[in-house]
A and B are shown apart, each in its own frame.
Chain A
Amino acid sequence: MQDTQYKGVNTLLRVYETQLLTREDYEKMLRAENLSEALEALKSTEYLIDEQELLEHKTFDGFLMQRLKNLYEELYSVTPDSEVVQIYTLRYTYHNLKVLLKQKFTDQDLEHLLIHIGKYPVSTLRHLVNTGQSDELNPIMIEGVTGAIEDFETYGRLETADVFMDTYYYKHMRAITDRLNNATITKMADAMIDLDNLSTVVRSINQNKSRSFLHTVLSSSGTIPKKALIDAADDGAINVLNSLYLDKTYSKRLEAVVVESKDNINPMVLDKVIDEIVDDLMEEAKYQAFGPMPVMAFMFAIEKEVTNIRLILVGKDNQIDEDIIRERMRPIYGS
């Protein structure tokens, strides 16, 4: 795919970027005394909010997901290669597959948990889960779903849906980035998968999980072999970081994740640093007119914007300290 084919969408995105929330908008929301004031600050933005409804029911995800849905639909229609957009929407697609699989396994009605964002409509995913076949969907996704169903039918383990879908999400993402063959996107996927693996290791160690658990949940789609991660994890999270991550280009950023006593990793800070590292990679997109990077950067920016808005609104609604909200804020576009 020629990079020049993205010139149309990239021009459109430059306009959309001006609609993203600025630091001033966030400051206004953060300084708000209560939820009502924070919502007031959102009124002048592109988010369609019904203040009364939100104050009454506190269903913040409704308008946030609507905004994402509209943007992703538009991106799918204008982006020359839909797989670029899929890198971000895969998370929702695999979430929907988990919901549909759990519905199938337990006969529960979980329809309200489906998120209608993604390249394929929910009906196509439902067909795959019900029949184990699809002509439209990616073979990796089909393999993941049929594998999960077979495993459940053999062993009756309900966690199968989570294990298979998490694993195949990373596999699918890796397959897309390999096909796109864009250096920055590949770097981003490498960083995301490797760092998600590090986060998984830290969380597993903190919860005293076994080696076999790590073997089940770690992804093999990163640049660091799963076995090396599991072996290093025997000597603690800090050993994993020191022995496997110090040669990475983003290693400087990882200094922040080490706790004061230098013997462990703060997983909360790590989650934030992962986003900061991806944000660093997106920096170059600001000056590009061609290629898929501006689309990637915009999707990253809008996802983090939604996270930040949800964080502030939930925080204001529950009288959480401003400092606690601030330390969890994800990167803001243009800052």
Chain B
Amino acid sequence: MARLNVKPTRMELSNLKDRLSISTRGHKLLKDKQDELMRQFIVLIRKNNELRDEVETELTESMRAFVIAKSLLNESFIEELFSVPDTSVTLDIQEKNIMSVMVPEMNFTVDEDDKESEMKYGLLNSNSELDDSIDRISVILPKLLKLSEIEKTCQLMADEIEKTRRRVNALEYLKIPQLKETIHYIQMKLEEDERANITRIMKVKDMGQ
């Protein structure tokens, strides 16, 4: 381990000791942060996996039902039915702080004014199977939106965990050992100087007698 390129003085020793103390405290704090982030990340990942499995299963079934329904209708008819959405959804994103990671908190608001009408689309060029598949997709939609929120949170937390891990490792395996080694070197050097000085004084004293 390379020691730092500093002059072996008492001032430098004092500075390095301060830096070591800060680094050790920082390391402990970052380690705690990493542990807590990991704990929360694991909880979120479990939730994410469950939700993803659920959404994927339901979505596959709904899309299958939709494909069967649309196979009986002209593609232009279906596109026309949904060309003008019957409801509008507003997305309000707020930031939430998890261990200093700013994660999104998404709030979806369905415009109630648009829900006045019961008619989502014309019934002439559609069929019952299309109704079912659209209903199923509508049921999944809130879960899908929730999944997007959790996945984004997991992604941001994973980035932060990675960053924290690098910092912890840098402190643990590089910074702190370097500081310790340099402090040790300066202490040795100063003690050596001290001993040399005493020896020199003793010699001078001997010469005077």
Chain A interface (Cβ within 8 Å of chain B)? Answer: 59-61, 65, 91, 94-95, 98-99, 102, 105-106, 108, 110, 112-115, 157-159, 162-163, 165-166, 169, 196, 199-200, 202-203, 206-207, 209-210, 212-213, 216-217, 267-268, 270-271, 307, 310-311, 314-315, 318, 320, 324, 328
**Alpha-carbon gap, A203 to B83, bound state (A):** 21
A209 touching B84, Cβ below 8 Å: no
A113 touching B67, Cβ below 8 Å: no
> Which 9 residue pairs spanning A and B have beta carbons closest together?
A267-B128, A162-B122, A314-B71, A159-B119, A166-B124, A213-B118, A311-B71, A61-B75, A113-B76
Please tell me which one of the listed residues A108, A207, A212, A213 contacts residue B83 in the complex, with CB atoms under 8 A apart. Answer: A108
A206 touching B119, Cβ below 8 Å: no
**Alpha-carbon gap, A322 to B29, bound state (A):** 62
Chain A proximity of B69: nearest CB distance (Å): 9
A163 touching B68, Cβ below 8 Å: no
Q: Could you show 12 A-B contacts with beta carbons less than 8 Å apart?
A: A98-B122, A99-B83, A110-B80, A158-B84, A159-B122, A166-B123, A196-B124, A203-B131, A271-B127, A310-B71, A310-B72, A311-B72
A106 touching B84, Cβ below 8 Å: yes
Chain B interface (Cβ within 8 Å of chain A)? Answer: 64, 67-68, 70-72, 74-77, 79-80, 83-84, 86, 117-119, 121-125, 127-129, 131, 135
- Enumerate chain B residues within 8 angstroms of A94, measured Cβ to Cβ: 124
A95 touching B80, Cβ below 8 Å: yes
**Alpha-carbon gap, A159 to B121, bound state (A):** 7
Please tell me which one of the listed residues A115, A159, A202 contacts residue B74 in the complex, with CB atoms under 8 A apart. Answer: A115
Please tell me which one of the listed residues B68, B71, B80, B118 contacts residue A98 in the complex, with CB atoms under 8 A apart. Answer: B80
B131 touching A102, Cβ below 8 Å: no
Chain A proximity of B81: nearest CB distance (Å): 8
Please tell me which one of the listed residues A61, A102, A328 contacts residue B80 in the complex, with CB atoms under 8 A apart. Answer: A102
**Alpha-carbon gap, A218 to B177, bound state (A):** 82
Which chain B residue lies CB-closest to A108? B83
Query: With A106-B84, A108-B83 known to touch, is A165 a contact of B71 (CB < 8 Å)?
Result: no
- Enumerate chain A residues within 8 angstroms of B64, measured Cβ to Cβ: 318, 320
Chain A proximity of B205: nearest CB distance (Å): 100
Give the one of A105, A115, A209 with max B CB within 10 A: A115
- Enumerate chain B residues within 8 angstroms of A98, measured Cβ to Cβ: 80, 122
Chain A proximity of B67: nearest CB distance (Å): 5
**Alpha-carbon gap, A206 to B127, bound state (A):** 12
A213 touching B122, Cβ below 8 Å: no
Chain B proximity of A267: nearest CB distance (Å): 3
Chain B proximity of A126: nearest CB distance (Å): 15
B72 touching A328, Cβ below 8 Å: yes
- Enumerate chain B residues within 8 angstroms of A318, measured Cβ to Cβ: 64, 67
B76 touching A61, Cβ below 8 Å: yes
**Alpha-carbon gap, A47 to B74, bound state (A):** 17
- Enumerate chain B residues within 8 angstroms of A314, measured Cβ to Cβ: 67, 70-71
**Alpha-carbon gap, A202 to B83, bound state (A):** 25
Chain A proximity of B32: nearest CB distance (Å): 52
**Alpha-carbon gap, A213 to B83, bound state (A):** 21
Q: Given A212-B118, A268-B127, list of 8 further CB < 8 A pairs?
A: A112-B76, A114-B76, A115-B76, A158-B86, A166-B123, A166-B124, A206-B131, A318-B67
